[in-house]
Amino acid sequence: MFASKSLKKQIEPIVESLLAGLVGLLIGALIMLAFGHNPLAAYRSLLLGSVGSVYSVAESLAVATPLILTALTFAVAMRGGLFNIGAEGQVYMGSLAAVSVGLLHLPAPFNLIVALLAAMIAGIVWSLPVALLKLGRGVHEVISTIMFNWIAHFFAFYLIANVLTDPKRGDRTINIIESARLTRILPTATLNTGLFISLLTVAIILFLLWRTSTGFEIRAAGYNPHASHHAGINIRKQVLRVFLIGGAVAGLAGAIQVMGRPPYYAVMSGMPQLVNLGFDGIGVAMIGRNHPIGIVFAALFFGGLMVGGRIMQFDPGVPFELVRVIEGVIILALAVPELRRQFSRLKGRWGRKE
Amino acid sequence: MKAGIMRIASLVIALFVLAGGPFVSSASAAGKVALVLDVGGRGDLSFNDMGFKGSDEAQAKLGVEVVEIQSNSAADYLPNMQNAARSGQFDLIVAVGFLLADAMAEVADQFPDQKFAIIDVTWLGKPNLMEIGYEENKGSAIVGALSSMVAAHYGYDKIGVVLGIEIPVLYKFEAGYRYGMHWGNAKYAEKTGKKSNVGLLWTYTGTFSDIAKGKAATEAMLAQGAGIIYNVAGPLGIGDLEAITEHLEAKNKSAGPPFMIGVDANQDYLGDGHRVLASMMKRVDFGVYSAIESVVNGTFKGGVQILGPHNGGIAMSGKQDLADFIQFGVSGGAISASDSGQITSNWDAMRKDIPQWIWDAVAELQSEISSGAADVPCGWCPDTIGDIRAKYPD
């Protein structure tokens, strides 16, 4: 009796997601029909393009690699009851910190690890003011993270154009030095060992949240800050923890994107390889129900959707703009169950207050 | 509820089956081409849109099928080109823009049997890759000569150039513009007997996207008495033109001088047709078209192709281009079709107000450049720009 009930509880979200995904695919198909494209051919190339060969699986994994991390940033905060959308700016800072390690001229074996650490520290530095503003002045994290994302955006533009510029080509920063680059796993695909860094981070966060007292405190504060406070948990400390963990993880995402994805190994002017990694991570976290394991699968799905979407462009010839619309519809549909859950939680909380 | 979902699902499936009929892929006899773009995508009214213009023409005139592949992120450049090459269905893959150079270097080696072409890149050297470069220095010399003579004619003693990020390709524009200004000064003295001392104001704004910086730089140049502003920073031209428009409005005028000189596309139709004197057209459309044409004709070969004034790849805008690009501006949403008559008559009036000998002199320089008689400095290499600045001073 009990066993079947807990089994049902575990399967329910999966079934829910599958149904939501199906609805998304159907709406996407209707949109394609409306614009005169064959949805069956388009979904066929979406599927083949994302998982049809070793190469396409590797590409899907490559896209998923940084998204796993930015989704973790959001999810950890969500578990702690906070809405941290600052990963975007922390990604920029992390990537530039990794690039600037090249200026230090360290002995070769240190470069990789120092670049990763520098990126995490940069992410933390960018996250810390948000936490301090919340603790000291009660500034809501949504407002302050949006502001810090923009500050990071323009600060990064400045650094790319004036400080870290490649003297031979003004459109990009200096390259990540060879010894700090992550190795490619397949000779052609852009997949690299950054994937293992992402998965290791997932394992660490999983352990931290569910196997340590720190994680218990974070989650308790998220469930019910008042009860946790009365039970002796320092809520302010949890806010700080959530932002620092999130900053480090998001900084890491920026670093592995620029240290791992060929062929550039430099931040381009306008940051075209970094922009939206942080925001896409929010979608991934939502689809993955803010759970590290769920996030891995959600990021894989997201990566597959992006990689397969490229194929949709030139095989059945669905225009890029429409591909993005369809991707958006599917992601939105998949995020609906989690959004509903979060909303009903909030409603419950407000309801009690009245 | 459940039954409702089932009903919708079956309806959709029925729709698929019914609609499946018309979707038969049409294999094209003339060939299939992939056009790979950077994150800029459509709608810049300049570089990328010019690439699309070339492929649209190839589609219409050569009957090839063109598939556009845009990119979400710079991380997509390499996989997008790999996917296109891997699919084996394209006779040619064209990459538009030097941002795609690193990805092209890799993918051209990986797929030695696939034909590739790339615009604005001339240093990769692959047997299966056609690299198309432009002589921007020569085009800039032509508009530089026009600028200095027109400025002198209207009593200005300065011309300006607003540049983007200080990269080697922009040195080419600067070097040519300097050469042209000095050529124009000499020609003005020769024709009118009056000494002309038009000087140069130049600014590298450090951006290709911050339109406000273009406006600020132009305002500063206008305040120092510049009569012509050459836009060498893509979209910053919008800011340049805004500054000129406001400067004229303050004097209750609409038509220049001061004028702007457009870049890449023909931008003469902007500013109601009488604030952009001419454009240094870099025919990206021409490059894309000729690469596709070479594959259709079977004359494709790897190596560097240089497009310049001698083959129409670089040209100063003329009357014929105006109608063509008004259409381009209308489809890009920059102007409305109903304005085209007014723009054309304004443009005619603007050009007629300038004495014919100036236009003749510009044509003379153009033919000197095409024949190789005029030695326009290159300035491609960062190590020569200092010498060029010394030889052709501000």
Name the residue among B70, B75, B106 with its Cβ closest to that of A273.
B75
The overall average pLDDT reported for chain B is 87
Tell me how far apart the alpha carbons of residues B182 and A240 are, in angstroms, rounded to a whole number.
64
| Other residues' Cβ atoms within 10 Å of the Cβ of residue A30 | 16
- Beta strand A169-173 with A165-166 is antiparallel
Rounded to a whole number of angstroms, the distance from the CA of B235 to the nearest CA of chain A is 14
Nearest CA in chain A to B207: A161
Sign of CA dihedral B249, B253, B257, B260: positive
Whether chain A has a CB inside 8 Å of the CB on B20: the answer is: yes
| Other residues' Cβ atoms within 10 Å of the Cβ of residue A187 | 6
This prediction's pTM: 0.78
Tell me how far apart the alpha carbons of residues B267 and B261 are, in angstroms, rounded to a whole number.
8
Whether chain A has a CB inside 8 Å of the CB on B28: the answer is: no
pLDDT tens digit sequence for B306-333? 999 988 899 999 888 888 888 888 877 7
Question: Cβ separation of A171 and B165 shorter than 8 Å?
Answer: yes
Rounded to a whole number of angstroms, the distance from the CA of A41 to the nearest CA of chain B is 9
DSSP state at residue A162: I
pLDDT tens digit sequence for B85-141? 988 899 999 999 888 998 999 999 999 999 999 998 888 999 999 999 999 999 999
> Band of the pLDDT at A1, cuts 50, 70, 90?
very low
Q: How far is CA B270 from CA A102, B111, B209, B238, B253, in A?
A: 45, 43, 18, 9, 16
Find the distance separating the first CA and the last CA of chain B, reported in whole Å: 77
Instruction: Report the candidate in A278, A287, A302 with the shortest Cα–Cα distance to residue A337.
Output: A287
CB A85 within 8 A of CB A321: no
Whether chain A has a CB inside 8 Å of the CB on B355: the answer is: no
Tell me how far apart the alpha carbons of residues B78 and B102 are, in angstroms, rounded to a whole number.
8
Whole-number pLDDT of residue A117: 97
Instruction: Report the candidate in B280, B46, B17 with the shortest Cα–Cα distance to residue B174.
Output: B280
Is ipTM beyond 0.90? Answer: no
Q: A38: left (phi > 0), else alpha (psi -120 to 50), else beta?
A: beta
DSSP state at residue A112: H
Within 8 A of B106 by CB-CB distance, chain A residues are 262-263
Residue of A158, A188, A271 for testing the chain B interface, max B β-carbons within 10 Å:
A188
Within 8 A of B167 by CB-CB distance, chain A residues are 169-171
Rounded to a whole number of angstroms, the distance from the CA of B173 to the nearest CA of chain A is 15
Burial bucket for residue A336 (CB in 10 Å: 0-12, 13-18, 19+): middle
Enumerate residues 6+ apart whose C-beta is below 8 A from A110.
none
In percent, the amount of chain B with pLDDT more than 70 equals 90
Q: Name residue B72's amino acid.
A: N
Partnered with residue B278 across adjacent β-strands are B261
CB B263 within 8 A of CB B280: yes
Partnered with residue B262 across adjacent β-strands are B279
Partnered with residue B163 across adjacent β-strands are B204, B232
Q: How far is CA B336 from CA A4, B44, B270, B278, B327, in A?
A: 67, 17, 11, 21, 9
Whole-number pLDDT of residue B20: 41
Tell me how far apart the alpha carbons of residues A104 and A26 are, in angstroms, rounded to a whole number.
53
Name the residue among A268, A270, A314 with its Cβ closest to that of B209.
A270
B19 pLDDT higher than 80: no
Within 8 A of B80 by CB-CB distance, chain A residues are 310
Name the residue among A41, A262, A315 with its Cβ closest to that of B78.
A262
- Continuous segment of H or E residues that includes residue A155: helix A141-158
Whole-number pLDDT of residue A262: 87
Question: Cβ separation of B206 and A161 shorter than 8 Å?
Answer: yes
DSSP state at residue A325: H
Q: Count A/B contacts: CB-CB distance under 8 Å.
A: 102
Which of B 85-104 lie inside 8 A of A, CB atoms?
86-87, 99, 102-103
Rounded to a whole number of angstroms, the distance from the CA of B56 to the nearest CA of chain A is 15
Within 8 A of B20 by CB-CB distance, chain A residues are 38, 40
DSSP labels, B178-232:
HHHHHHHHHHHHHHHSS----EEEEEE-S-SS-HHHHHHHHHHHHHTTEEEEEEE
CB A67 within 8 A of CB A287: no
Name the residue among B20, B209, B382 with its Cβ closest to that of A38.
B20
pLDDT tens digit sequence for B127-162? 999 999 999 999 999 999 999 999 999 999 999 999
The overall average pLDDT reported for chain A is 91
Question: Cβ separation of A310 and B76 shorter than 8 Å?
Answer: yes
Residue of B5, B64, B83 for testing the chain A interface, max A β-carbons within 10 Å:
B83
Question: Cβ separation of A311 and B83 shorter than 8 Å?
Answer: yes
Q: Tokens 């983007």 label which residue? A: B164
